[in-house]
């Protein structure tokens, strides 16, 4: 009986199940194409995913990359290798993300085919996708040289013959031309609104044109000095005859942006220019300078850990931080307020130079120094950063210090232990401490909790800003022979840094342009690509060991070697009863972990294209000198 009931029940259930077409139900976890492109909200979230694919070589979400080029020292044991290897591997910085390009091309095609979206949305989304594609091609051409330009989504037909998918590399100049032309087209389809900062706008199109055309121009001009860095097919290298046209294009784009008067230099606290310069990067409300940034939001899952990674160890909100230690090499580049290149004075004849306050040695400098660096003797989040390497006992000229942060030791003539080293170090070889004597301040978030793993920060990563456009403009004007206007634009940027004595047009040189970009745009991802396009990278990173003297004599010279990180350590003088007691002295040091002098080879100018890629597509030619 039981069995019969069971059988009937099962049969009934089966009958019920089959009566409807449950096998053709819509999926609950995947959105089909017509749904995504059927509503502006979903189409926008698909676009947001494309924004997420935007590639940066250096970024606040990828701190260690900032320590490759002697702009900073990596104070984390796992990253020390970056200052121990001589040669940059040829495959560093290579990028071949055609999966991303394909996704964008798909997006463009589907937006195009959508009937449900209104025209305004369609135009804007499409222009944004094309902007992202141009940005990605720019990133690829910077690293790889000419790459195949693919503007439709390619799909394999499983015929066994993939040759129709194999495209050769375009010329380097053709890729730049493509980028510039795309930006010309889409700039008028995007909002002409300076408040649009984390999505594409007309402003960022002009800013990217300003930068991209400048890159192409300088490769054309300075590429002549490195004839080995070229390929016969033009995949690498741009003829020098094209330089002027690109400089003009860059100038035109920059001027268009400047003359729109929609952006301006950030100057909310003119009475404290260092604070002002730091705030330029973390202040997200009505920031008139930021043109395009990668945005973050607290409690949304999209937060960044720059402040967590780099907070001064002494006042850290977690038992870590302090990873990026900007180098003395960089600090030396910041001029004194009377426009002079001047090393920090550590010695006075045969004796140390004594300072009343720890921070005094950094006085009267370009305001950007304290805006970019957390200096010894300064404060962060209102607290003392506590960077000092130990006591200098004047009587014996010996150092008393400790191997742990804020460690205790007995000073001579005392019978108790006291703190003899800063809570942030510097202690040689101790990670998270300020091993160069400095921490980074740019992009650091002063908000409470920004250094906690569970909170982190919503400070944005500024990709394009007005200050850079002014420097682009100054460079283009200089290269076109208009030194007067070059000085005019560079002086605007310098005045904001407190350098009120303007440079004259006679002072405008290539070295000046290079120098100004180094100090203004440090930690913003420019150093490598600038040195590459000016073809000075193999001179700056020439593999030769450098001394502090050669660093100091090289300030302000574009191609001066910069192959090893140096630091400067403060010591407190211990001389009871003497006038120098409690004063500060400084020593220049090379962190013990720095063993190699970096060398940038000719084969590093354009990154290695993987064997896999070349094997799959024999039309791809290898980059030169590898």
Partner 1 sequence: MNLHKILYHLAFGCGLVICLGGCQKDNFAPPETKFTGHIVYQGKPIAVKNNGGGTVYFELWQSGFGKSGAIDVYLNQDGSFSALLFNGEYKLIIPPSQGPFISIANESTGSDTIDVKLSGNQSMDIEVLPYYIVNKAAFTLGADSVVKVDASITKIIKDERARDIESVSLYVNRTSFVDDDNHIAFTDLNGADIADLSHINLSAKIPKDISGVNIGVADQKYFYARVGVKIAGVEDRLFSDIVKVEL
Q: Is 385 exposed, middle or buried (0-12, 13-18, 19+ CB in 10 A)?
A: buried
Nearest to 572 by CA among 581, 562, 561, 584: 584
Nearer to partner 1, 87 or 252 (CB): 87
Q: In the complex with partner 1, which residue's Cβ is closer, 161 or 612?
A: 612
Minimum CB distance to partner 1 smaller for 326 or for 591 = 591
Q: How far is the CB of 411 from partner 1 (least distance, A)?
A: 26
Between 24 and 163, whose beta carbon lies closer to partner 1? 163
Residues contributing to the site for partner 1 (CB under 8 A): 86-87, 227-228, 543, 601-603, 611-612, 615-616, 618, 624-626
Beta strands in 373-523 (DSSP E): 373-374, 379-380, 383-384, 390-393, 398-400, 408-410, 417-419, 439-440, 461-465
Q: Which is nearer to partner 1, 514 or 620 (CB)?
A: 620
Beta-strand pair 439-440/373-374? antiparallel
In whole angstroms, how close is the CB of 94 to partner 1 at the nearest point?
16
What is the number of other CB atoms lying within 10 angstroms of the CB of residue 569?
28
Q: Which is nearer to partner 1, 342 or 625 (CB)?
A: 625
Distance of CA 176 to the CA centre of its chain: 21
Taking the C-alpha atoms of residue 238 and residue 497, their distance in angstroms, rounded to an integer, is: 35
- Tell the smallest beta-carbon distance from residue 557 to partner 1 (Å): 18
Between 320 and 601, whose beta carbon lies closer to partner 1?
A: 601
DSSP letters for 73-131: EE-SGGGGGGGT-SBPPTTTT----HHHHHHHHHHHHHHHH-SSS-HHHHHHHHHHHHH
Nearer to partner 1, 580 or 625 (CB): 625
Q: How far is the CB of 443 from partner 1 (least distance, A)?
A: 36
Closest distance of CB 33 from partner 1, Å? 34
Question: Based on CB atoms, which residue is closest to partner 1, 210 or 607?
Answer: 607
What are the structure tokens assigned to 111, written together?
A: 């937006």
Q: Among residues 459 and 548, whose Cβ is nearest to partner 1?
A: 548
Task: Identify whether the C-beta of residue 428 lies closer than 8 Å to the C-beta of residue 363.
Answer: no
Output the CA–CA distances (angstroms, integers) from residue 503 to 238, 500, 518, in the order listed. Answer: 32, 9, 17
Q: How far is the CB of 607 from partner 1 (least distance, A)?
A: 15
Q: State in angstroms the smallest separation of the CB of 109 from partner 1.
A: 31
| Residues 94, 614: Cα–Cα separation, whole Å | 14
Rank residues 64 and 602 by Cβ distance to partner 1 and give the closer one. Answer: 602
Closer to partner 1 at the Cβ: 43 or 565?
565
Residue 390: HSE in the Cβ half-sphere, 13 Å Cα cutoff: 19
Complex with partner 1: residue 87 or 174, whichever CB lies closer: 87
CA distance 516 to 504: 14
Q: How far is the CB of 228 from partner 1 (least distance, A)?
A: 6
Question: Minimum distance from CB of 359 to partner 1 (Å)?
Answer: 33
- Least distance (Å) between residue 602 CB and partner 1: 6
The answer to whether the CB of 564 falls within 8 A of the CB of 324 is no
Residue 86 Cβ vs partner 1, minimum distance, rounded to whole Å: 6
Cis peptide before 617 (omega within 30 of 0): no
Angle between helices 172-186 and 202-222 (to 10 degrees): 160
CA nearest neighbour of 533 among 241, 182, 224, 252 = 224
CA-CA distance, 38 to 602, in Å (whole number)? 51
- Shortest Cβ distance from residue 227 to partner 1 (Å)? 7
Select 425 or 624, whichever has its Cβ closest to partner 1: 624
As measured in angstroms, the least distance from the Cβ of 595 to partner 1 is 11
Q: Measured at the alpha carbon of residue 455, what is the angle toward residues 454 and 457, in degrees to the nearest 5?
A: 140
Integer angstrom CA distances of residue 328 from 85, 379, 530: 20, 19, 20
Tell me how far, at minimum, the Cβ of 625 lies from partner 1, in Å: 4
Helices and strands, counts by H and E, the chain: 19, 16
How far is residue 332 from each of residues 93, 115, 314, 366, 514, measured CA to CA in Å?
A: 28, 59, 25, 11, 15
Backbone dihedral region of 252: left (phi > 0), alpha (psi from -120 to 50 degrees) or beta?
alpha
């Amino acid at each position: 009986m039981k069995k019969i009931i069971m059988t009937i029940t099962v049969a009934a259930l089966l009958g019920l199940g089959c009566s409807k077409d449950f096998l053709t139900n819509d999926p609950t976890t995947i959105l089909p194409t017509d749904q995504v492109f059927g509503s502006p909200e979903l189409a926008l979230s698909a676009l947001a995913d494309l924004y997420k694919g935007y590639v940066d070589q250096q970024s606040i979400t990828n701190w260690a990359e900032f320590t490759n080029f002697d702009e900073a020292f990596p104070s984390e044991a796992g990253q020390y290798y970056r200052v121990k290897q001589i040669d940059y591997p040829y495959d560093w910085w290579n990028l071949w993300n055609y999966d991303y390009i394909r996704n964008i091309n798909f997006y463009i095609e589907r937006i195009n085919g959508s009937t449900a979206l209104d025209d305004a949305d369609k135009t804007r989304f499409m222009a944004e996708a094309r902007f992202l594609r141009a940005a990605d091609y720019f990133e690829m051409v910077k690293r790889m040289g000419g790459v195949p330009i693919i503007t439709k989504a390619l799909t394999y037909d499983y015929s066994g013959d993939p040759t129709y998918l194999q495209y050769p590399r375009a010329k380097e100049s053709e890729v730049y031309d493509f980028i510039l032309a795309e930006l010309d087209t889409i700039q008028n389809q995007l909002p002409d609104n300076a408040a649009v900062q984390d999505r594409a706008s007309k402003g960022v199109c002009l800013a990217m044109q300003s930068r991209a055309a400048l890159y192409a121009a300088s490769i054309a001009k300075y590429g002549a000095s490195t004839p080995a860095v070229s390929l016969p097919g033009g995949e690498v290298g741009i003829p020098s005859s094209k330089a002027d046209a690109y400089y003009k294009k860059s100038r035109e784009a920059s001027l268009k942006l400047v003359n729109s008067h929609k952006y301006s230099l950030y100057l909310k606290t003119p009475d404290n220019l260092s604070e002002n310069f730091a705030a330029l990067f973390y202040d997200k409300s009505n920031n008139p300078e930021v043109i395009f940034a990668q945005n973050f939001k607290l409690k949304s899952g999209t937060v960044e850990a720059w402040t967590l990674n780099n907070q001064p160890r002494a006042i850290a909100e977690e038992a870590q931080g302090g990873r990026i230690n900007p180098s003395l090499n960089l600090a030396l580049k910041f001029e004194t307020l009377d426009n002079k290149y001047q090393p920090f004075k550590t010695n006075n004849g045969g004796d140390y130079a004594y300072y009343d306050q720890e921070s005094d040695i950094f006085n009267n400098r370009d305001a950007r120094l304290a805006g970019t660096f957390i200096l010894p003797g300064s404060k962060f989040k209102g607290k003392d950063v506590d960077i000092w390497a130990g006591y200098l006992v004047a009587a014996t000229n010996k150092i008393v210090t400790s191997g742990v942060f804020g460690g205790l030791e007995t000073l001579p003539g005392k019978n108790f232990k006291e703190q003899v080293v800063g809570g942030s170090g510097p202690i040689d070889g101790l990670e998270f401490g300020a091993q160069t004597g400095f921490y980074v301040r740019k992009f650091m978030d002063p908000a409470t909790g920004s250094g906690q793993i569970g909170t982190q920060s919503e400070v944005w990563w500024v990709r394009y800003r007005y200050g850079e456009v002014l420097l682009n403009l100054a460079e283009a004007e200089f290269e076109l022979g208009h030194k007067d206007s070059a000085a005019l634009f560079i002086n605007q940027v310098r005045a904001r840094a407190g350098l009120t004595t303007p440079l004259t047009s006679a002072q405008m040189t290539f070295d000046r342009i290079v120098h100004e970009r180094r100090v203004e745009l440090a930690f913003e991802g420019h150093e490598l690509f600038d040195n590459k396009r000016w073809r000075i990278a193999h001179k700056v990173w020439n593999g030769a060991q450098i001394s502090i003297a050669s660093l100091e004599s090289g300030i302000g010279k574009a191609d001066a070697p910069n192959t090893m990180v140096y630091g400067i350590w403060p010591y407190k003088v211990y001389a009871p009863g003497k006038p120098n007691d409690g004063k500060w002295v400084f020593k220049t040091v090379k962190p013990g972990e720095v063993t190699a002098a970096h060398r940038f080879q000719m084969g590093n100018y354009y990154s290695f294209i993987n064997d896999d890629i070349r094997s799959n597509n024999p039309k791809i030619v290898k980059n030169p000198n590898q």
